[in-house]
Structure formats: structure tokens, C-alpha cells
């Protein structure tokens, strides 16, 4: 039966091409989405790990979060820097101002980036300042250093004006320098202003920071450093969170990864549409194959093949087709993700300009989608092939007797279809991704089950 399945695929390869393309497209979208997200997350975490200090102190709300009522970034009191500096095992501690999602407009009133940029203080002592490749560092309240990629993308040079829209108010700065991102990826901002200006203009108060970065003394590990700093802050009036380098990189990576959800869901939506179309194409392909091979199925039954064997013959062809299509789709998806990372890197988001990351879950998901969808689409044609009578080999026109199964199949189609519509309605009201997926799946099953034989 295996040899017959292989010969069947080879003999009808022209009819299989359209179904193969449908499988490859669906799995390419799935694999491409997963690889792109994994690549960006891995690059972002690596960049954050390079820029994170040995230990970081942030407000309980989290760095980048907003205070209730004011909309200002959550802050750390300036006195915390002195307390942390005196802790055992601390070599140095610096306050940092780091405000993401800030709207910065160029001289023409256009934003540097639609989703906002990160504005930070210029703090050479904290090890966070990049290398100035043109001009100089900011030294006054109306001066700023701009990232080289952003300067190139927007055509901004030294002497141009920028308008920064912060919660305390809008203020203008003049670009006095252009900074090159460090080779270790440790730069974590796009616009840098003088430290006291960052406190007053971005946070609305002097002597406050969004975080405190801590450098460990010789021979002090991140774990012991965290415990000692946390002990020094035990009696502080405001609650603070102390994280090691790895913990801070993970926390910032998770926050940055949430911004990818929209892109991920959009790409998976295209994948779902492609898979949905593929189900109909695959099902139609196998339905035509089963109809064209009615005599062959009857002959197999006549020479002793059982109904289940004929059924498994068609499903075996589906598995083979799904495996080939999944392999092609996985390859195309990885190439698609590699192209997307390069494109995103060129437009200024270096977090995505990284090596392609392929985790084991991506091939598993690609083959699961390709093979299982093909099996699901071929299941009903396979059942019809198994019901072919041995007498069909002797008749000019013959086919399986489907009258007995139509009533049961219609009931299944109606039930699953109604459940799918109900799940979709609940998903729209509850904004639940799981209900949305269940609704799409049930609607798909009901549509395929109710299709004409």
C-alpha cells in the first residue's frame, strides 16, 4: 500500500501542485512569523543584556511605567543613589533617566519614529553613553545628541532642531552631536540630552531618576550584589525592585516583546487565511483524485484490500504531500523572516537586525500545521474512497454510496458551524485569542464537513 501511495502521488503530480503551493504558503507564513519574532526577541535580549548593569534598581511599578494620575514616568529618589553607593560590594552607582515611547519631531514636524523613540540622559559615567562620531556631547539645557541611524534616516544634521513632547511639557533642543551605536549593542536610546535637563524636562522634577545602575566591586557576583543592595534599601520609604543583569535583560525583553504582538497576530492572521484557503484547495484536489480513481479503489477492494486500507492509502498520500509542502514552507518562512529582519534593521530598528533564530518549536509548528491540515482536508475524500464497492472495478461509472452518511455529516457540519459562530461572537465581545482560534477552527470544520461530496 505504501508503494501504491508513492506511485499515486507521482502519477498525479500535476494535480498535486496547487495543493502543494497552498500548504507551502500556509506553513511559510507560520514559520516566518515565529522565526521573525524569535529573532527579534533574541536580539533584543542580547542587546539589553549588553546594556544592563551588574544590578539595577527600579521603582516598584517598573522602569518606563507611568505614575497614576500624572502620567509621569515612575521615578527613584535621588537619595537612593547614595544609599546604594554605600552598600557592601558596590563599586559605583549612578542614576539614569530613560523614557521610552517619547514623541520627538524633526524640524518639519514629522516624528522620528511613529511608535515613539527613547530619550535618555547623557551619562558617560554610567557606561551607557555611545561614541560621538560628529560634533560633541550635550552640555546645556537645549542641546542633544542624536543616534546616527535616526539622523541618516531623517536627514538630520548638526545644528538642526528637534521638538521633544514630554509629559511635563514640550521643549526644543539643537542637535550638537551624532552618536554611533556601540559594537556590543549596549546603546539603549535614540536621543540623549544633558542629565539635569532630562530630569526636569522628562520627569518633571530634579534629583530623581527612572533607575539606578550599580557596578559590582571586584569578585562580587550579581546574586550577592543584588542581596546586598536589596538589604541596604530594606528601610527605604518607597518600595524598589532590584534585579541582576540577567533579570533586567529579561524584564526589558518581555516589555519590548509585547510590542511585537500586533505584528505577530497580523502575520498569523494571514497564515490563518492562507491555511483556510488551502483546506478547500487540498480537499478539492483529493476529492477529484478519489473520483478519478474510483475503479482503482474498487479493484483494490476486489483483490482483498479492506476499507481501512484504502482509507489509509489516501491519508498516506496526504501525509506525504503535507510533509513535502511543510518542508518547502519552512524553508520559505525562514528566508522570509531573514528578509524582514534586514528590512527592519535598515529602517533604524537595530533590535531586529540580528542573526536569524530558529527554535525547535518553529519546525514542529510548521510540520504540525502542514501535515495535520492536509490530513484534515483529505479525511472526507479518504472515507469516500474507503466506501467504494469492489463491484466498482467492473462498472463504467461507479462511486461510493454516500447516501447513508449525508445525514450524519450534515448534522456534524451544522453543529460545529454553529459552535464556531458562537465562539467567534464571544471572542469579539471578550477579546479572547483562544476563543478566536476555537471559532475559526470550528467554523472551518463545519464548512469543510458541509461541502458537497
3-state secondary structure 36-97: HHHHHHHHHHHHHHHHCCCEEEEECCCCCCECCCCCCECCEECHHHHHHHCCCCEEEEEEEC
| Helices (H), ranges, 192-260 | 195-198, 222-232, 245-258
Across 55-75, average pLDDT? 70
Return the residue matching grid coordinates 544609599: 83
Counting residues of the chain whose pLDDT is more than 70, the rounded percentage is 72
- Candidates 48, 56, 95; CA nearest to 216 is 56
What nine digits make up the cell of 287? 476529492
pTM of the predicted model as reported, rounded to 2 decimal places: 0.64
Across 386-390, average pLDDT? 68
**What does the DSSP 8-state code read for residue 224?**
H
Across 65-71, average pLDDT? 57
d(CA 233, CA 248): 18
What nine digits make up the cell of 191? 536621543
Q: What are phi and psi of 408, to 5 degrees?
A: -65, -40
At residue 186, the pLDDT reads 44
d(CA 192, CA 208): 17
Confidence of residue 185 (pLDDT cuts 50, 70, 90): very low
- Candidates 173, 167, 52; CA nearest to 112 is 173
Q: Would you say how long the chain is, in residues?
A: 453
d(CA 412, CA 373): 18
DSSP 422-444: HHHHHHHHHT-HHHHHHHHHHHH
At residue 122, the pLDDT reads 87
d(CA 180, CA 42): 22
d(CA 189, CA 9): 56
Q: Which of 282-296, 316-330, 373-387, 399-413 has the highest mean pLDDT?
A: 316-330
Across 93-117, average pLDDT? 85
Max distance between CA atoms of the chain, in angstroms, equals 96
Q: Beta partners for 144?
A: 175, 193
Across 188-205, average pLDDT? 87
At residue 175, the pLDDT reads 93
pLDDT exceeds cutoff 90 at 367? yes
CB within 8 Å of 38: residues ≥ 6 apart: 357, 358, 359, 362
User: Mean pLDDT for the chain?
Assistant: 78
Confidence of residue 176 (pLDDT cuts 50, 70, 90): very high
Confidence of residue 174 (pLDDT cuts 50, 70, 90): very high
d(CA 139, CA 45): 32
What nine digits make up the cell of 136? 560633541
**What does the DSSP 8-state code read for residue 171?**
E
Helices vs. strands in the chain: H and E counts, helices first: 13, 13
- Candidates 378, 377, 385, 375; CA nearest to 292 is 385
Candidate from 98-102, 376-380, 396-400, 440-444 with smallest mean pLDDT? 396-400
Quote helix, strand, coil % in the chain, to nearest 5: 55, 15, 25
Residue 214: strand, helix, or coil: strand
d(CA 79, CA 224): 22
Candidate from 13-22, 107-116, 170-179 with smallest mean pLDDT? 13-22
pLDDT exceeds cutoff 80 at 79? yes
pLDDT exceeds cutoff 50 at 409? yes
Tell me the pLDDT tens digit for each residue of 282-301.
887 888 777 766 666 666 66
pLDDT exceeds cutoff 80 at 335? yes
Q: Which sign does the torsion angle of CA 42, 44, 50, 53 carry? A: negative
What nine digits make up the cell of 387? 466506501
Tell me the pLDDT tens digit for each residue of 211-238.
888 888 888 888 888 888 888 887 665 6
d(CA 398, CA 389): 9
At residue 192, the pLDDT reads 92
Return the residue matching grid coordinates 483562544: 434
Confidence of residue 72 (pLDDT cuts 50, 70, 90): confident
Amino acid at each position: 500500500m505504501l508503494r501504491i501511495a508513492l506511485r499515486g502521488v507521482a502519477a498525479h503530480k500535476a494535480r498535486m501542485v496547487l495543493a502543494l503551493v497552498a500548504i507551502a504558503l500556509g506553513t511559510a507564513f507560520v514559520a516566518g512569523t515565529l522565526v521573525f519574532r524569535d529573532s527579534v526577541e533574541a536580539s533584543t535580549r542580547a542587546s539589553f543584556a549588553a546594556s544592563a548593569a551588574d544590578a539595577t534598581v527600579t521603582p516598584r511599578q517598573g522602569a518606563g511605567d507611568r505614575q497614576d494620575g500624572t502620567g509621569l514616568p515612575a521615578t527613584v529618589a535621588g537619595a537612593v543613589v547614595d544609599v546604594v553607593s554605600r552598600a557592601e560590594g558596590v563599586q559605583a552607582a549612578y542614576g539614569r533617566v530613560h523614557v521610552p515611547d517619547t514623541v520627538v519631531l524633526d524640524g518639519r514636524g514629522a516624528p522620528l519614529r511613529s511608535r515613539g523613540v527613547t530619550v535618555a540622559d547623557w551619562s558617560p559615567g554610567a557606561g551607557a553613553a555611545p561614541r560621538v562620531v560628529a560634533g560633541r556631547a550635550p552640555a546645556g539645557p537645549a542641546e542633544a545628541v542624536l543616534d546616527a541611524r535616526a539622523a541618516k534616516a531623517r536627514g538630520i544634521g548638526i545644528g538642526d532642531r528637534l521638538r521633544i513632547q514630554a509629559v511635563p511639557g514640550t521643549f526644543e533642543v539643537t542637535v550638537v552631536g551624532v552618536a554611533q551605536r556601540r559594537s556590543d549593542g549596549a546603546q539603549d536610546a535614540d536621543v540623549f540630552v544633558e542629565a539635569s535637563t532630562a530630569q526636569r524636562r522628562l520627569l518633571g522634577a530634579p534629583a530623581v531618576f527612572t533607575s539606578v545602575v550599580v557596578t559590582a566591586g571586584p569578585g562580587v557576583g550579581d546574586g550577592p550584589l543584588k542581596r546586598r543592595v536589596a538589604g541596604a534599601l530594606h528601610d527605604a520609604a518607597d518600595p524598589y525592585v532590584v534585579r541582576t543583569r540577567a533579570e533586567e535583560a529579561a524584564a526589558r525583553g518581555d516589555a519590548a516583546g509585547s510590542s511585537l504582538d500586533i505584528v505577530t497576530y497580523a502575520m498569523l492572521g494571514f497564515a490563518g487565511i492562507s491555511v483556510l484557503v488551502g483546506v478547500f484547495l487540498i480537499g478539492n484536489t483529493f476529492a477529484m483524485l478519489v473520483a478519478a480513481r474510483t475503479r482503482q479503489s474498487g479493484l483494490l477492494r476486489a483483490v482483498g484490500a479492506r476499507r481501512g486500507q484504502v482509507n489509509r492509502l489516501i491519508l498516506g498520500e496526504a501525509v506525504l504531500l503535507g510533509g513535502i509542502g511543510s518542508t518547502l514552507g519552512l524553508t520559505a518562512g525562514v528566508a522570509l523572516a531573514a528578509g524582514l529582519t534586514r528590512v527592519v534593521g535598515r529602517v533604524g530598528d537595530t533590535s531586529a537586525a540580528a542573526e536569524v533564530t530558529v527554535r525547535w518549536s518553529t519546525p514542529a509548528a510548521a510540520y504540525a500545521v502542514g501535515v495535520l491540515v492536509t490530513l484534515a482536508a483529505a479525511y472526507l475524500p479518504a472515507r469516500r474512497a474507503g466506501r467504494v464497492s469492489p463491484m466498482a472495478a467492473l462498472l463504467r461509472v461507479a462511486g461510493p454510496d454516500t447516501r447513508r452518511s449525508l445525514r450524519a455529516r450534515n448534522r456534524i457540519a451544522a453543529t460545529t458551524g454553529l459552535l464556531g459562530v458562537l465562539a467567534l461572537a464571544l471572542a469579539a465581545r471578550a477579546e479572547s485569542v483562544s476563543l478566536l482560534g476555537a471559532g475559526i477552527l470550528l467554523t472551518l470544520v463545519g464548512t469543510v464537513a458541509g461541502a458537497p461530496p
